[in-house]
Amino acid sequence: MGMSKTERLCKDCGVPLTTENWYSSDMKMHKCICKSCCCTRAREWRKTHPKQSRETERRYYALYHDKCVALRKKYRRKRVVKTLDGRTLLGNKRPYPEDECCELCNRRRRLLAYHHYNDYDLQEGLWLCPPCHLFAEGVDRGFVNPYFILKEKVIKTRGGLPHREMISFLSDKVADTETERERVFNLIMEATKT
C-alpha cells in the first residue's frame, strides 16, 4: 500500500500522524512531530536548560497561580496520604463524597480528611470530618479501652462527672499537638455536660 500525498509522518520516529497522536497547535503550525516525540524533546530540553526551565515554570506559576493551586489540591485529594509516622503514600483513594458529608457522622463539612487503614491499599479508608477523624485516629492508636477504664475509675471515685485533671490527662494521651489536645479536651467537656 502506498502512502497518500496528504499523509504526514513524524520527523523523529516515522509514525503516521493522526488527530489522536498530533497536537492541534503543531498541526496548525505544520510541525510534523507526534505527541510522544514532542514530550521527549521537551523533557530533554528541561534537562539541558535547567535555569531557563525553572524561569519558565516560575512565570507560568505567577500567571496561573490559582489554577496551579487548585490542580495541586485536586491531585493531593485524589492520590496523597500522610501516615502517622510522617511517611507520604501515593495511590488512588476512594472518591471524595459528592454530598461533602462525613461518612461517620453524616454531617456536611467544608473539608473532609481521608482516614485510611491499610498502607498497601489506599482504597480502604473513609472521608471524615475533623472531629471524627480525630476519634478514628484515637481508636487506631488504641486509646479507646484506656479511656473507658479511666472513665469507670473516675465515675467510681468521684461519684459523677470526671474532673478537669482527668480530662486533661485523656486529651494528652489521645492528641499529639497542642491544638488537637484543646479540641479533644473541649469535645470531652461537651460530652460530659450532656
Tens of pLDDT along the chain (194 residues)? Answer: 444 446 788 888 888 888 888 877 776 667 788 888 888 988 999 999 999 999 999 999 899 999 988 888 888 878 888 777 778 888 888 888 888 888 888 888 878 888 887 778 888 888 888 888 888 888 887 777 777 777 777 666 665 555 555 556 555 555 566 676 677 667 666 665 54
So what's the pLDDT on residue 55?
94
pLDDT of residue 176: 61
Q: Which of 83, 142, 133 is nearest to 103 (CA)?
A: 133
Q: What is the pLDDT of residue 98?
A: 85
Predicted local confidence at residue 35, as pLDDT: 85
**HSE toward the beta carbon, residue 32, CA cutoff 13 A:** 11
The span from the CA of 4 to the CA of 129, in Å, is: 61
Per DSSP bridges, beta strands 125-128 and 88-90 are unpaired
Q: What is the pLDDT of residue 58?
A: 92
Predicted confidence at residue 177, as pLDDT, reads: 64
Strands (E), the chain: 80-82, 88-90, 113-116, 125-128
Q: Measured between alpha carbons, how far is 10 from 22 in angstroms, rounded to an integer? A: 9
Q: In the chain, what are the domain boundaries?
A: 24-49, 65-129, 142-193
Model-level pTM greater than 0.75?
A: no
Task: Report helix angle 178-193 to 130-140, nearest 10.
Answer: 100
